[in-house]
Amino acid sequence: MSEYSPLQKARYTYEPKLPTVLNDEIASIAVSLGEATESVADQDALKGLFPHTYGAPIARFVKGENANAGTVRKLGVILSGGQAPGGHNVIAGLFDALKKANPQSVLYGFKGGPSGIIDDDVMEITDEIMDAYRNTGGFDIIGSGRTKLETEEQFEKSLATCRKHGIDGVVVIGGDDSNTNGAVLAEWFKAKNAGITVVGCPKTIDGDLKNEHIETSFGFDTATKTYSELIGNIEKDANSAKKYWHFIKLMGRSASHIGLECALQTQPNIAIISEEVKEKNMSLEDVVNSIVDVVAARAAKGMDFGVALIPEGLIEFIPEVGALIAELNDLLAKKADDFAAQKTVDDQREWVNKELSKDSSYVFSSLPRGIQMQLLDDRDPHGNVQVSRIETEKLLIEVVGEKLDSLRRKGEYAGKFNALAHFFGYEGRCAFPSNFDADYCYGLGFSAFLLMSAGLTGYISNLANLHKSANQWVPGGVPLTMMMNMEQRHGEQKPVIRKALVELDGAPFKAFAAQRDKWAMETAYTFPGAIQYYGPSEVCDQPTETLKLEKA
């Protein structure tokens, strides 16, 4: 029996498409620098925290002379945070650019995420190893982790690891928090005159690491297409059986980009956008009533079935619940020992209720006991509630069912309500990358090397014009400090890359809002089907609907 599937073997041979300028010899690719930049907010505070890297210019690659192209280099790469399709191709692009510039150069992988550079858990990435992972999903080439790089001891150990192996550059592949760590590490190395550059790459399926320069984070394209295939399958089943409501929670803790993109691809009956809930100051009851209205209206037309998309982070965006979660995050960060001292689960609930403000205590007490316990569960490495563990889809099914029962008791027709819950998250994080993500990630890795060869540090690799064909993409880099502001973390003000939320005045949301009333009542499902890797470009290489609408 073959060790690999036919698709896996075929994908190994796929050659990612690069922007035209990156197809030149490395020595013929120069960097063009723009004007000095500012952070998106809190300029004085960030200037004080990043005195050596703040205000750097935006970089673009152009035809020209790269005098340092042939220098022998030793680079290290870190995969940080949750998996996203295409991570292996970032490493492949970095590896190929490094070897193209000088075959004697070496790429090391820090195993298990940021802890690898701290603990000197290092492996050399060879041609044989790299070729076994090209164009495949997952982060298993070196593994990932969520260790934060933030203490003097960690920085000292990271420096010791780099000096031991002669490493002169580190690439951090991660999301907003991981790239914030990269910015801090770049500043620390610069302050120590360590001679080690640090460059990031924008990874997260959530789609919330983007701005006017970072048009999308890698993995978003593949993940949303994977989820949309599954949603389309469920829609086809719902319209066949005609007796179930499917409540589908979609990954995306801090923004609803995944839910919006999947809605644009599949046209469900209901798609809640968390940012709209917050903007309209909707209570949990308001959200429930909006769902009940659609369920009852469809029932009145003889359609006791439907599909509802629920963002993973919805509960945080309901203002009353969001305020509760923010208060819980601070409370459990500042009084962790007191909380841990409580002997039973009920003691913990009682203690929390006494410590919370009056309004938050009321909201906490009104939630089902199971949801209360999920809010008090272990925090993530950044001190936040682990929203993915909150079964929002089941909460909504329960309360929507109760509301419909209440309508029936009043003599109102509410039809039959048989609901099933789904959570699509891990299904999309390690999928075979789409052609778009395979190409995009390869270009990001290639650009990361070029930033380092130009001696730039504290940057994030980027490609622009992503709505066009890959040969027209514009490669370069953006200073990480340009994307940062100060936010409350663990009870303290910390520098972080600002998350990008769904813009309610943006073209993708407007396109959705213009059609959702029709989709609610007409069963206008669309079925994207599986990701296609081979065939015409209009089938295989298309970006997301979000990106096309934003660039229309």
Please give the distance of CA 59 from its chain centroid, rounded to a whole number: 24
Q: How many CB atoms lie within 10 A of CB 214?
A: 20
CATH topology of domain 220-425+506-550: Rossmann fold (3.40.50)
Q: Where are the alpha helices (DSSP H) in 369-434?
A: 369-375, 392-409, 426-429
- Confirm whether 6-217+433-486 and 220-425+506-550 share one CATH topology: yes
Which residue ranges of the chain lie beneath pLDDT 70? 1-2, 378-383, 387-388
CATH topology of domain 6-217+433-486: Rossmann fold (3.40.50)
- For 510-538, what is each residue's pLDDT tens digit? 999 999 999 999 999 999 999 999 999 99
- Residue 385: the pLDDT is 72
Instruction: Write out the DSSP string of 38-66.
Output: --SS-HHHHHHH-TTTTTPPPEEEEES--
Domain boundaries, the chain: 6-217+433-486, 220-425+506-550
- Residue 414: the pLDDT is 85
Q: How far apart are CA 535 and CA 541, in angstroms?
A: 9
- Residue 322: the pLDDT is 85
> In percent, how much of the chain has pLDDT > 90?
84
- Residue 380: the pLDDT is 66
- For 46-102, what is each residue's pLDDT tens digit? 999 999 999 999 999 999 999 888 999 999 999 999 999 999 999 999 999 999 999
**In Å, how far are 52, 102, 247, 298, 510 from 397, measured between CA atoms?**
52, 59, 7, 16, 27
Q: How far apart are CA 494 and CA 539, in angstroms?
A: 44
Q: How many CB atoms lie within 10 A of CB 403?
A: 19
Q: How far apart are CA 21 and CA 5, in angstroms?
A: 34
The helix-helix angle for 152-165 and 176-191 (nearest 10°) equals 70
Phi, psi of 532 (to 5 degrees): -105, 135
Residues 251/428, Cβ–Cβ less than 8 Å: yes
140 is catalytic: no
| Strand-strand pairing, 122-124 and 106-110 | antiparallel
- Residue 372: the pLDDT is 85
- For 273-293, what is each residue's pLDDT tens digit? 999 999 999 999 999 999 999
Q: Which amino acid is residue 508, in one-letter code?
A: P
Of the residues 176, 206, 439, 541, only one is catalytic, namely: 206
Task: Record the tokens describing residue 134, joined without a space.
Answer: 């090209």
- Residue 1: the pLDDT is 39
Q: Which amino acid is residue 234, in one-letter code?
A: I
Stated pTM of the model? 0.93
Q: How many CB atoms lie within 10 A of CB 104?
A: 11
